[in-house]
Amino acid sequence: MRDEIRRVIAALGVAALLGPSGLAQNPQQPALPPAPPQVSVNQKGAIRAAVNLVEVDVAVTDRDGKLLKSLRQDQFRIAEDGKDQKISTFDYSDVEKLEKAEAAEAAPITIAIGSVAPPEEVRQQERDRRMIVLFFDLTSLQPNDLTRSTLAAKQFLSRQMTPADLVGVVAFGNQLHVIADFTNNRDLLYRAVDALLPGKEAQLAALAAATSTGIDSVVTEETNAAFTADDTEFNAFNTDRKLASLESLADLLRDIPGKKSVLQFTSGITQTGEDNRSQLRATTDAANRANMSIYTVDSRGLLAEIPGGDASVGAANGNAMYTGGAVFQQSGARQDSRETLATLASDTGGRTFFDLGDLGQAFRAVQSDTDGYYLLGYYSTNALHDGRWRTIRVKVAGVPGARIRYRQVHH
């Protein structure tokens, strides 16, 4: 028995000497092969490989705004930071054709948000379809704003939604919740939107607004409170949470092929500048990797504000009420709350919708932007992984007067 134990120990010692460290110390051994692509396993068990494929959705119209559907791959040119790239993948999604086919409405379709199904299987389901996520930021939407947003969403579902539309519903409160996966089931989506109720999370927005006093020290709200949270620290934390929720949504949508449009209903994001820059870049980067465009909708709509605020806001200290300082502070705070929203939209190929009396305009714009698009993919020749933004330029040859819409950066 002892002899057998000795033989086992000796064999283990030899195996250890032949491991990676042993190979590194032996000059006679051949060079090791290149390391394979890095892979990671997400919580659902899907293995994801790190690749440099960049996908850009491109909508091309003529002078009159009519979609050009019959362009060839060799008519497109794409450059990254001024260097031409080889187009490796090319496809066209003809959403406009499918939305006119009423028979398609009878076929029920459901695609899980966060799906780990094989991409080709998902691609067959979503091909030539428009994928829209209705995202409700419950941490900022006051009861009136949430009611306005849900009413607009239900009108879209009952009147504007077409057979080509697959819609999902997501809400962010204390956590990110997927209320409904991508589906063409109007009744299910209607119930999902109707179930959204205002909660305590919206009180965070009121506190953020109360602590954001701007640069004019004389414009401060009288709260009669012994302690008021520091506006910079509180708003930086609150803004990071909102941006991180969108980043998480992008990660869930990343494995679903095609273009995804997210309509974000919110009452603003308090802008704190440099304190949120890293999270803003991370969110934009995740959205672009997932081919997700963010359309930000200020649910406060078109509003004529009462100078100094209504009865829910404490009066301003000092003489700001008489010099106009309080009014300028109101206007400035409203614009500041939209700055981050505008950045998210512009850097992901989406749009912003502010001061709308009819929120339905946002839905019509999303549908118009995604009636049909070319999906171009290329493997970036830039070997530097320095975290900098890359500028994308797309051109179409042989079509005078063509108008091109696409996102112009990736990270």
Q: What is the pLDDT of residues 34-75, one digit of tens each?
A: 433 444 444 444 444 445 688 888 889 988 888 898 899 999
pLDDT in the model for residue 27: 38
Interatomic CA distance for residues 54 and 379, integer angstroms: 6
Strand spans (E) along 208-351: 260-266, 292-298
Q: Which two tokens stand for residue 51?
A: 């690749």
What percent of the chain has a predicted confidence (pLDDT) above 70? 64
Residue 248: pLDDT over 60:
yes
pLDDT in the model for residue 249: 95
Confidence grade of residue 7 (pLDDT, cut at 50, 70, 90): low
* Strand bridging mode 403-405 / 373-379: unpaired
pLDDT, average across residues 326-346: 69
Interatomic CA distance for residues 327 and 308, integer angstroms: 6
Average pLDDT value for the chain: 75
pLDDT in the model for residue 122: 84
Dihedral sign for Cα 298, 304, 310, 314, please: positive
User: What's the full length of the chain, in residues?
Assistant: 411
Interatomic CA distance for residues 86 and 376, integer angstroms: 10
Phi-psi region of 284 (alpha: psi -120 to 50; beta: other; left: phi over 0): alpha
pLDDT in the model for residue 39: 40
Q: Which two tokens stand for residue 257?
A: 């092929």
Interatomic CA distance for residues 130 and 127, integer angstroms: 9
pLDDT in the model for residue 261: 95
pLDDT in the model for residue 9: 45
Phi-psi region of 188 (alpha: psi -120 to 50; beta: other; left: phi over 0): alpha
Determine contact, residues 394/406, Cβ cutoff 8 Å: yes
pLDDT in the model for residue 131: 93
Determine contact, residues 296/352, Cβ cutoff 8 Å: yes
Bridge partners for 377 per DSSP: 55, 89
Tally of CB atoms within 10 A around 27: 5
Of the candidate CATH numbers 3.40.50.150, 3.30.420.40, 3.40.10.10, 3.40.50.410, the domain formed by 95-371 belongs to 3.40.50.410
pTM of the model: 0.70
pLDDT in the model for residue 225: 44
Determine contact, residues 382/390, Cβ cutoff 8 Å: yes
Q: What are the start and end residues of each CATH 3.40.50.410 domain in the chain? A: 95-371
Bridge partners for 173 per DSSP: none
CA 365 centroid distance within chain: 17
Residue 395: pLDDT over 80:
yes
**Residue 287 buriedness (CB in 10 A; 0-12 / 13-18 / 19+):** buried
Confidence grade of residue 172 (pLDDT, cut at 50, 70, 90): very high
Segment 277-293, tens digit of pLDDT: 888 889 999 998 898 99
Confidence grade of residue 10 (pLDDT, cut at 50, 70, 90): very low
